[in-house]
Structure 1
Amino acid sequence: MTGTLNVNGFLKAKGTKLVNGAGEEVFLRGINLGNWFLPEAYMWKVPHSLGKHHIMEKVFSELLGEEKANKFWETYFNTYTMESDIKKIKEEGFNSIRLPLNYRVFMNNDRVFDENHIKIIDRTLDWCEKYGIYCILDLHGAPGGQTGTNIDDSLNNYPDLFADNENVELTVFFWKSLAERYKDRTIIGGYDLLNEPVPKEHKQYHDKLIDVYKKIIKAIREVDNNHLIILECSNWATDFRIFTEKHDDNMVIQFHKYWCPIDYRFVRDYLNIRETLNLPLWMGESGENTLDWYQGSFQMLEDYNISWCFWPWKKLAAKNNPCSIKVPEGWDKLGNHAKGDIQLSADEAESILNELLENIKFENCEYNQEVLNALFRRAPFRIQAEYYQLHGVGQSYYFRDKVATNVNFRREEGLNVKFICGKDDELPQFDSDPSNHMPENERLYISLQAGDWVKYEVNATEDQFIDLSAHIAAETMDAVIELWLNSEVNLTGSAVIENGWHIQTLTEKALLPAGIHELKLIVRNGIVKVDYFDIK
């Protein structure tokens, strides 16, 4: 990572970098406030029969009556994210949020805005200013829908944004109105025009997507020349090939990254388009995985100087994001009612939903600190041995002999990497059930010989004393390693590694000062196999 985390004036694109109003290069570390203005079924832990926001609204109105259902949604929108959330986000080290919007929460199809709902955005921006956090506005649910799936609240399961010009005009009007309102708000980092547009099954709309982008940009620039324009790749924000030119002098290309190997090849194309078009990249969504994957994936993004935004801040009953909303008593009954399996009474439905309104408050959530520690490589956390830094040979790693194993992972570096369980697959399954760590049958280990070394990033928010152990094994009888902090302090001395897989304590109560550090593993003698390090 290069660049400051400081929030100071309008964000601008300057070549491949982002800079703030003072001309300082900025690196964005952000988090998505998903599930707020566009609830999604999987984050509510409800079945597909409640899979879209408008379906939830319909079912809740039928259960509670329109007046009480409207009151529920008003309370939900006003409570889901509060100042305490923004304050905590800042304290954890983030300098930006992405705010997903469903257009119809803020504007009806007669182009009339709901001022009460717009004021929730205003209030959020005020909190962002107070704590120094850029806010990126993201149109997650466009008129007609840009994906045709549950994530955009589309009515017809089709990307009707591109099939009906009236939807295009509504979208253009929506963005121009927001730009007119917020043109002087420096705390807004940029306008993310469409979330994950045009899945590959609707690739006939690729050209139409670019046309829509151009129309929105033209309308925004009629009232606002200050803010960054953010354009997402097609096909769930993964296919960069729609971009062959810059569409604005102040724009960023955004991609999303889920469930894929943490390997140069999986960001190479984005890095190439960054250099070809000479503009910045932003990874606007990634998450929904294990702590191990977070540690490696977000390290790789920072190594390649790609600003990032984690998904999401909050969802129901979750271990793999920061805030876990407690499940209200009787919650499953809502889904069973929607499926037609039971008939839920109005009083019981009201009780369940009222409990949800209490549980969504930050102070009532269960907080998963280990998720933040993995994202920021911050002690205490686990380091998977194969996720060393990627600044290049001689800077982040050195292997005396380049090895090509059957595992198709980090082959460019010549890493000797294999499955712990001994299987001969090409790659692990990175979409495994989200839990704390990768299951043993999907874990990799690295084999290093005398003279090899690798570096890892380790951070601390304050001075602390750490214990460091490893899941490790010697391949030869004389295996010796050393672990160095910033190439200055030998934490372990010459540690003799025992045979067979085992947890070996390498150092106890070693001082880790506040700050950003490098942990360097050097093999002095023999051959060792390393699965992971635990820093506690």
Structure 2
Amino acid sequence: MKNILYVLCCIVTLVSCQQKQRNVILAPEAFVRVSGQDLIQPDGSKLFIKGTNLGNWLNPEGYMFGFNKVNSGHFIHEMFCQMVGPDFVTEFWKQFKDNYITRKDIEFIASTGANTIRLPFHYKLFTDEDYMGVTVGQDGFTRIDSVVTWCRDNHLYLILDMHDAPGGQTGDNIDDSYGYPWLFESEASQQLFCDIWRKIAGYYKNEPVILGYELINEPIAPYFENMEELNAKLEPLHKRAVKAIREVDNNHIVLIGGPQWNGNFKPFKDAAYDDKLMYTCHRYGGSPTKEAIQTLINFRDSVNLPMYMGEIGHNTDQWQAAFCKVMEENNIGYTFWPYKKIEASSFMGIKVPENWQEVVTFSEAPRATYKEIRDARPSQEVVKKAMMDFIENSKCENCVPQVGYIRSLGLQANE
């Protein structure tokens, strides 16, 4: 009983200390700030962002599990439940969140010489909606608090990225939506979007480890006939969310991404509505040359604010090394996507578990009717073990560092 009381006291003390730290009022100079096209650290030195994204952890994506058709969070959850039942899947997601990213992962990232981590998250982590096995009292702050602590201990900055917004902002698997960016059609979703950002900003307003808040990831895919109409609604929503954040937090930078995969900045007409803005772009493929990003550079120069490559990757080591050189020469920091996935093309490769092909085969099978589900379902015991083996293989100590990949980013890796 004494041991239990001691542990409880330690937990209460830790929580109390974290709460006190959040309540301490810090000077603006304690936070990363914008100065023209540069980011300035509290010590006055320039920050050139180099790092990675913790993709798949709090916003599962199918391809990082080795799936093709089953490519968004709710598709993955549904498929798992069809295969092994909701109770096992609830436990799977708990174990997944507890083990996929831990302190060891953050320590490894820091060991490469990276200075920044981008953390994609699903808006549902800050609601009572069913998500990743939790049906009430979601654990968004608990999960992010852990990363904040680990980043603080390892001298890393953290960017909070709402990768999946209410209603869906992209209209593809990326935002875990229903195939259309309903966010821009729904007042209720927009209000929830702003309310969640106000809640997050109020909670972290005095946390200097957090570099900034990335409002929305890759809004408005280029598939829709009314794309230009949707594009015109983006900046007003940005302004509304920034206003909500500034009601509680005047310390942190707000990151703004353009529509069409964070690549189109033409819809933005006003760069002066806040004094702590920076822009974020994404790029996959193409030529690793300055000419390939000249329009991004031109926009950056026109607004005289920082531009940062929030996502880039999935290419050869040679391509990545060449593009990193171009980005450094043009003052565009970067976080490569992703930190960890099955097999390669990331900082860490997850080894394919035994019998994982059974899961992949089920994910690819026709499942439009209950008969098709029954006919395709593999052995539950085999699949349950494969799923738990995936979690075991995803632990930092069991992953395979991708040495060439890491070095291609201008970072350090040991053989």
For Structure 1 versus Structure 2, the TM-score category normalised by the shorter chain is: 0.7 to 0.9
Please give the alpha-carbon distance, in whole angstroms, between the structure 2 residues aligned to 1:322 and 1:259.
Answer: 18
Superposed CA deviations along residues 350-395 of structure 1, whole A, max 9, x for unmatched, are: 111110110110110111111111111779xxxxxxxxxxxxxxxx
Which amino acid is 1:24 matched to? S
1:254 matched to 2:277? The reply is no
Quickly say closer, same or farther: Cα 1:60–1:377, change in 2 above 3 A: closer
Secondary structure of 1:136's match?
strand
- SS of the equivalent of 1:31 reads strand
1:265 corresponds to 2:262: no
Distance 1:207 1:280 in 2: 23
Pair 1:240-2:265 in alignment = yes
Deviation readout 1:405-444 (Å, 9 max, x if unpaired): xxxxxxxxxxxxxxxxxxxxxxxxxxxxxxxxxxxxxxxx
Residue by residue over 1:142-187, the C-alpha shift from the partner in whole angstroms, topping out at 9 and shown as x without a partner, is: 1111111111110x21111112111111111111111011111100
Report the equivalent of 2:40. 19
What's the CA shift string for 1:483-528, capped at 9, x where partnerless? xxxxxxxxxxxxxxxxxxxxxxxxxxxxxxxxxxxxxxxxxxxxxx
Among 81, 86, 93, the alignment partner of 1:66 is: 86
- Answer yes or no: is the 8 Å Cα contact 1:46–1:332 preserved in 2: no
Secondary structure of the equivalent of 1:248? coil
Matches of 2:302 and 2:167 in 1, distance apart? 33
1:374 aligns with 2:394: no
Mapped partners of 2:299, 2:274: distance in 1: 15
Alignment of 1:446-485 (within 5 A): none
CA contact (8 A) 2:113 2:411 kept: no
Q: Deviations over 1:62-98 (max 9, x none)?
A: 3333222111101111111111111111110100000
Give the counterpart of 2:361 among 336, 339, 343: 336
| TM-score of the two chains, using structure 2 as the length reference | 0.85
Partners of 2:125 and 2:139 within 8 A in 1 = no
Give the conservation status (yes or no) of the 8 Å contact 2:55–2:338. yes
The SS at the match of 2:199 is helix
The Cα shift of 1:117 comes to 3.7
Q: Distance in 2 between matches of 1:25 and 1:79?
A: 34
Say if 2:386 is the partner of 1:352. Answer: yes
AA of the residue aligned to 1:147: T
Equivalence map 1:164-313=2 (5 Å):
164-202=186-224, 203=227, 204-246=229-271, 247-313=273-339
Q: Partner residue of 2:54?
A: 33
The one-letter code sitting in structure 2 at the alignment partner of 1:236 is W
The 8 Å contact of residues 197 and 241 in structure 2, kept in 1 or not, is answered as yes
Counterpart of 1:94 in structure 2: which amino acid?
A: A
- For 2:79 and 2:321, locate their aligned partners in 1 and report how far apart those are by CA, in whole Å: 40
Match of 1:102 in 2: 122
Bigger share in strand: 1
- List per-residue Cα deviations over 1:277-324 (Å, max 9, x = no partner): 111111111000001101100111001111111111100011x22211
Stretches of structure 2 that go unaligned for 5 or more consecutive residues are: 1-28, 367-374
Q: TM-score, normalised by structure 1?
A: 0.66
* Kept after mapping to 2: 8 A contact 1:333/1:342: no
Describe the shift of the 1:201–1:337 C-alpha distance in structure 2 as closer, same or farther (beyond 3 A). closer
**Matched position secondary structure for 2:232:** helix
Distance 1:122-1:66 versus aligned 2 partners, 3 A rule: same
Cα distance in 1 for partners of 2:215, 2:147 equals: 19
Instruction: Name 2:171's counterpart in structure 1.
Output: 148
Partner of 1:134: 157
* Paired residues of 2:288 and 2:320 also in contact (CA < 8 A): no
8 Å CA contact retained: 2:113, 2:412: no
Measured after TM superposition, the shift of residue 12 of structure 1 is 1.0
Gapped runs of 5+ residues in structure 1?
Answer: 1-7, 380-460, 462-535
Of Structure 1 and Structure 2, the greater helix share is in: 2
The offset of 1:113, in angstroms, is 7.5
Query: Which string of whole-angstrom CA distances, capped at 9 and with x for unpartnered residues, describes residues 87-135 of structure 1?
Result: 111110100000000111332359x983534211101100000000000
1:231 touches 1:251 (CA, 8 Å); kept in 2? Answer: yes
Contact 1:106/1:113 (8 A) holds in 2: no
Matched, 1:325 2:343: no
Structure 1 residues 276 and 356, CA gap change in structure 2 (3 angstroms):
same
SS of equivalent residue, structure 1 residue 252: strand
Give the whole-Å Cα distance in 2 for the aligned partners of 1:128 and 1:9.
Answer: 16
Alignment correspondent of 1:494: none
Please say which structure displays the higher CA radius of gyration: 1
Q: CA deviation at 1:24?
A: 2.2
Residue 371 of structure 1 aligns to a residue whose secondary structure is helix
Displacement, 1:244?
2.3
Residues paired across the two proteins, number: 370
In structure 2, what residue type is equivalent to 1:149?
Answer: D
Partner of residue 91, structure 1:
111
Q: Which has the higher contact order (CA 8 A, sep 6+)?
A: 2
Paired residues of 1:254 and 1:281 also in contact (CA < 8 A) = yes
Q: Check the 8 A contact 1:109/1:170 in 2, yes or no.
A: no
- Residue aligned with 2:278, SS: strand
- Residue 364 of structure 2 is aligned to residue 364 of structure 1: no
Judging changes above 3 Å, is the alpha-carbon distance between structure 1 residues 179 and 79 closer, same or farther for their aligned structure 2 residues? Answer: same
Give the counterpart letter for 1:91 in structure 2: S
The match for 2:72 among 45, 48, 52 is: 52
In 1, Cα distance between equivalents of 2:64 and 2:412: 26
What is residue 5 of structure 1 aligned with on the other side?
none
Asked if structure 2 preserves the Cα contact closer than 8 Å seen for 1:12 and 1:228, the reply is: yes
- Residue 192 of structure 1 contacts residue 230 of structure 1 at CA under 8 Å; is this kept in 2? yes
Residue matched to 1:161: 183
Does the aligned pair in 2 maintain the 1:291–1:374 contact within 8 Å? yes
In the alignment, the residues of structure 1 paired with residue 93 and residue 34 of structure 2 have an alpha-carbon distance, to the nearest angstrom, of 37
Q: Could you tell me whether the CA contact under 8 Å between 1:95 and 1:134 is conserved in 2? A: yes
1:82 to 86, 102, 107: 102
Q: Distance in 2 between matches of 1:150 and 1:198?
A: 12
Superposition RMSD on alpha carbons, in Å? 2.0
